[in-house]
Structure 1
């Protein structure tokens, strides 16, 4: 009798466990397969990340806006406590029309930063908000929203540099039409990419996506990255690997930062599998490079942005921003068409600096002599001149030696103290940014 009772209890326990397992599996199947395939259900209620957001242009339930943010954070970059957003891409996904439309925002875009009301490069908004550990993404989203005339930003997806490398390696590499030569040699990597269609591994794809040493600087990089995204998307679709992206994300999720749920990420993967490359359009906000106080900025064309948003998304927007007077009449940067002319200009600037330093030294020597004639006579060939020349030559050698290093940020904002070690390289990389008009949008129309 006792054995029969224990047997019944054991059967009941096993049955209960089976029922629970079936229920859990059924729920997971419903959430990540049935519901996830209907993206309009998953994104019915958009989360508002900021109570201060003013939705001037509310989108319907058939679309969602996501901000893609690439951080200059990597496992071998331990100098900075705070990081910046090297890639900023506003994306509108329309479920009904099955269209994806994106607007790239150059990292050096001069704009008003959310809350602090200071005018700075847009990639500094992340740091003003305290980075990924505080409100960095909210600051970036709100700053982008204001630049785009109050367009709502519902979600964000941030990733670091290691994420790109690991995703590509997990996928087994990607085929890319390399447009420009990329030469990088550091203690970590040795990359020498030649133009042409070829298969790249993770680290090669990363450095190609970051490469900015071209006449158009960051604008050229944005255009190449657009082609890179479309090429990778097409390969993933043809190989049916898009649906594996949620699994890949989960494996390396420590390199991602997002307010999307796993169900929403899965739903986006199903949606991506259902669209074609031709359904994706990426543009960039128009503007021009200019130099202020030795720092290169991208000055946005507000009228051009209005036209871009109207043509791309169908909204008539008003941009509540007015460029401060001090930025309005600064001369634009002179473009160096080739490396030799750039080096020539740099050398001329160094020679001018040397001459000015020598002149100041001579004036100081004369003043010192007139104050106290009893001092020992100094060598008429000012010894400090030789030191200055040596320093100038050394700086020139450092510049030439660092031309193959990966691009670094150059800006004078709250990060200025953190960037002192790389000031020699970043100072000239910013001046190499040119008097280039953004024709990404105009060419795309």
Structure 2
């Protein structure tokens, strides 16, 4: 009579062990399990516009707001689940484009003129890509996320020094592999005061994005997930629901860095009535969209 309870207890232990093993494989070794057994990943192709905004302040309350700032970082992300491929097109903020309902000027003004809707429409017009979702990130949220992760390892390609007291921006980085704090990470992705200008900054943003994705895939990050979700709710605005955002983050986390293709909007630097601008190479852009989007 005692054998049946023992058998049930043993079965329960085995089920728990298998469940824990399944969860662990999904979280930290997703490549080792079949696609149909994976948890919470994007199953259909999606185009997501990612904007990083500078910080502005409400004149009455003095509180920071990123609903009226210019978009410092503009990325169009395309995910193909069948090919397990993530393609990211970075768009220089000085790209000279026609903003619907306004005039030709730098693309980062679109967010100021008409918020996320006009920014999406502008990017969609120049690329021909239908944008399904958007994510808006402010600088403070990014800094807090990096600090919560204990820093993000980055190979800084050269010494960087720049001070802008008006923006409270103090950049002082040395060349070499190192773990950047939130403040240092902000400096790294915003630095553009060299011969490469905004194009060099885009390359750094893409490099940092990959390092951040890798840091978010660690067991340590998983155990901090409740705090990460709290940061997301306070510092990121998105058309994705919380559930969709978690699925998106999990998809990114499960992706191999070799499966993330990064590219920049093709063009050449120039000057006109809008100042220093980036003139788009339309033929090369069409080729990129056809191949990667």
Shift of 1:178: 0.7
Q: Which has the higher strand share?
A: 2
2:276 maps to 1:291 = no
Query: What TM-score results when the alignment is normalised by the length of structure 2?
Result: 0.78
Question: For 2:121, which of 142, 159, 170 is the aligned residue?
Answer: 142
Question: For 1:303, which of 267, 280, 283 is the aligned residue?
Answer: 283
User: Aligned partners of 1:268, 1:119: CA distance in 2, in Å?
Assistant: 34
2:85 maps to 1:106 = no
SS in structure 2 opposite 1:153? coil
SS in structure 2 opposite 1:124? helix
Name 2:4's counterpart in structure 1.
none
Rate the CA distance shift 1:301–1:246 in 2: closer, same or farther, 3 A.
farther
Stretches of structure 1 that go unaligned for 5 or more consecutive residues are 1-32, 42-61, 130-135, 314-445
SS in structure 1 opposite 2:217? helix
Write the mapping of 1:2-401 to structure 2, written as runs, cut at 5 A: 37-40=39-42, 62-73=44-55, 82-114=68-100, 116-129=101-114, 136-149=115-128, 151-185=129-163, 191-239=171-219, 241=221, 247-293=227-273, 295-313=275-293
Rate the CA distance shift 1:304–1:279 in 2: closer, same or farther, 3 A.
same
Stretches of structure 2 that go unaligned for 5 or more consecutive residues are 1-26, 28-36
Conservation of the 8 A alpha-carbon contact between 1:185 and 1:191? yes
SS in structure 2 opposite 1:289? strand
Shift of 1:256: 1.2
User: Aligned partners of 1:157, 1:246: CA distance in 2, in Å?
Assistant: 19
CA deviations over 1:70-97 (Å, ceiling 9, x no partner): 0011679969993110111000112222
User: Aligned partners of 1:239, 1:85: CA distance in 2, in Å?
Assistant: 32
User: Aligned partners of 1:189, 1:291: CA distance in 2, in Å?
Assistant: 26
SS in structure 1 opposite 2:240? coil
CA deviations over 1:254-278 (Å, ceiling 9, x no partner): 3211110011011122222322111
Conservation of the 8 A alpha-carbon contact between 1:160 and 1:255? yes
Q: Over the residues paired in the alignment, what is the CA RMSD in angstroms?
A: 2.8
The structure with the larger Rg is 1
Shift of 1:232: 2.4
